[in-house]
Amino acid sequence: MAQQEIISCSICLDLLKEPVTIPCGHSYCMNCIQRHWDDNLIYSCPVCRQTFTLRPVLVKNTMLADLVEELKETGSADLCYAGTEDVGCDFCTGRKRKALKSCLQCVASYCEKHLQPHYESPAFKKHKLVEPSKKLQENICSRHNEVMKMFCRTDQQCICYLCTQGEHKGHNTVSAAAERTERQRQMKGSQQNIQQGIQDREKEVKLLRQEAKAINGSADKAVDESKKMFTELKQQVRSQQKSEVSRVKELQEKLEQEISELKRRDAELKKLFHTEDNNQFLLNYPSLLPLSEPKQLSSIKIHPLRYFEDVTAAVSEIRDRQQDVLRKTLTDTSLMVSEVEVVLPPPEPKTRADFLKYSDEIKFDRNTVKSVDLEYTDTFTFYFQILSTESVTGRCYWETEWGDGRGLCVGVTYKNTSRAGSREECLFGFNDSSWGLYCLNDGYTFWYNNIKTPVAVPQSNKVGVYLDHSAGVLSFYSISETMTLLYRVRTTFTQPLYGGLLY
C-alpha cells in the first residue's frame, strides 16, 4: 500500500485529521467517520463494508497521528494531491493530483504523470503549456465551442476562427499572439513612464528629507543660542519649526504614496507582460490602460542652512522689537517648496457627454466650413482636403455630419503630409503619416498606410472623432441615439496631429 494511502482518509481523500481506527482496522478522520455514520444510520466501514451492531467508540490513534505530523514536518509525505486552492489534473480518476501544467490547445490541465505524452509524443510538440490555470474555459468561444486564437480589433475582444467568418466578418482581426505583441510594445512605453516617475519622485523625496533636516538643524541652533534669554521666544521658534516640518512631511508623504502606487502599477504591468496565456493577457489588458507621461515635477532646491539665523542675531535687542523681527524672519524663511500635484490621467470617456467635455480643444468656426464644426484654412491642390489651423497634442473630440449623396472622409494627419501629388502621397490614410475613416453610402472603410479595412457596423449621418495624443488612441464613433464604436487605433504618435476632412 502506498504511503499516501496509509495516511489519507478514504472519505475526504485528504491527509488524516485526528485519525481513528475502527474495529475492522481501517482508519479515518474522526469527523469524517462520525458524519458518515450520522448520515447513514448504519454503522459500517466505508471501505470493507463490515457492519457493527453497536456504534464503535472512537479513540484517537496517537501513533498514526504522530506519523502524519512527522511526515508533514520532514516533507516525506506524498502531498501531491490537489487541494481546494489547487488546479487538479483533468485526467486523474478518483482523487485528483495537482496539475503541473495546463495546455492551451487541449484546454486541460495535467499532473506530472499525465503530462508525459506532451513531452514525448510528436503529436503534442506544438501544444503550448502554461502554468496551471483554473480559467481555461474562458479561452473557449461560447458560441462555437472553439479555442479563441484570434482578436477583433474592431470590437476589442477575443474570438475564435469561426467568428471571423460570421458576426466578425469584415472586421479588423489578427491573431491573439500578434495583438499581444503590439500591446506589449505599448506597455513598454507605459512602464518607462512609470519607472521615470518613480525615479523623479524619489529624487524629490530625498530633497525633502534634506530640507527637513536643514530646518531641524537650523531651529535647534537658534533655540540653543536663545533659550537662556527668552523662554517665550523658544516656544515661538518651536511652534514655527513644527509647522514648517509638517509642511515638508505632508508633501513627502504625498510623494511616497505616489511612488508606492507607481510601483504597484509597474508590478501589475510586469506580471501581465509575462503572462503566458494570450487570452488572459488580452482580457486583463483593458484594466491596465497606459498611463500618460507623468507631469514634470517642480524642482526642489535645498536652501542655505540659515532658517533662524536672524533670530540669533536679534536676541540682544529689546523683547518687543525682537518679537517683530522674529515674526518677519519666520515669514521670510518659510519653506519654499512648491505643492506637487499628484494626478493620474483621467479615464477614457464613456458617454457622449464625457466626450463633449473635450470638444473645446479645437477651435470652431462655422463660417469657414458650414458642414463641420472646425476651423480650416489649409487646402490640398489635388483633392479638396482641408486641415485644422491648430495642432492637437492632448485630448480632443469633434463631430461632423455627412449625407445628401456625398461621401466624406474624416481623419487626422501630421503637418508634413504632402499637399500635392499622387493619391498615396496626399490622401488621408494612403500613407504612414495620416489616418482616415471614409464614409460612403455603401459603407465605412478605414485606411492607414494604403491598407483598407472594412468597418461593418450600422451607419449614421454623424461621426465623432476622439483623439488622445499622449496615450496613442484614435477612435471613430457612429452617433445616433447612442455612440457606437466604429474603429479604434492604438499606436504611438510621434508628431502633433491636425484634424482633417476630405470632400
Query: What values do phi and psi take at 73, rounded to 5?
Result: -70, -40
In order along its 503 residues, the chain shows pLDDT tens digits of: 445 556 778 888 777 889 999 999 899 999 999 988 988 878 899 889 899 988 999 999 988 888 888 776 665 444 577 777 888 898 988 778 888 899 988 889 999 889 889 988 988 988 988 889 888 888 889 888 888 889 999 888 999 989 999 889 999 999 998 998 988 888 888 888 888 889 989 998 998 899 888 888 888 887 787 766 677 777 777 888 888 888 888 888 888 888 898 898 888 888 888 888 888 888 887 766 655 445 555 555 555 455 666 666 666 665 566 566 666 666 665 544 444 444 456 777 888 888 888 886 566 444 434 443 333 344 444 457 788 888 887 889 999 888 766 788 899 998 877 666 666 677 889 888 999 999 888 889 999 988 999 887 777 889 999 999 888 899 999 998 888 888 999 888 888 898 888 87
Q: What is the pLDDT of residues 112-127, one digit of tens each?
A: 889 889 988 988 988 9
pLDDT digit string, tens, across residues 200-211: 899 989 988 998
DSSP class of 202: H
159: helix, strand or coil: strand
Counted residue by residue, the chain has a size of: 503
Short-list 125, 92, 85, CA closest to 108: 92
Nearest-CA neighbor of 24 among 4, 2, 46?
46
Q: 32 is written with which cell numbers?
A: 469524517
For the sheet containing 101-103, what is the strand order? 108-110, 101-103, 129-130
**Could you give the count of Cα atoms lying within 13 Å of 257 in the half-sphere of its Cβ?**
11
Taking the C-alpha atoms of residue 221 and residue 303, their distance in angstroms, rounded to an integer, is 16
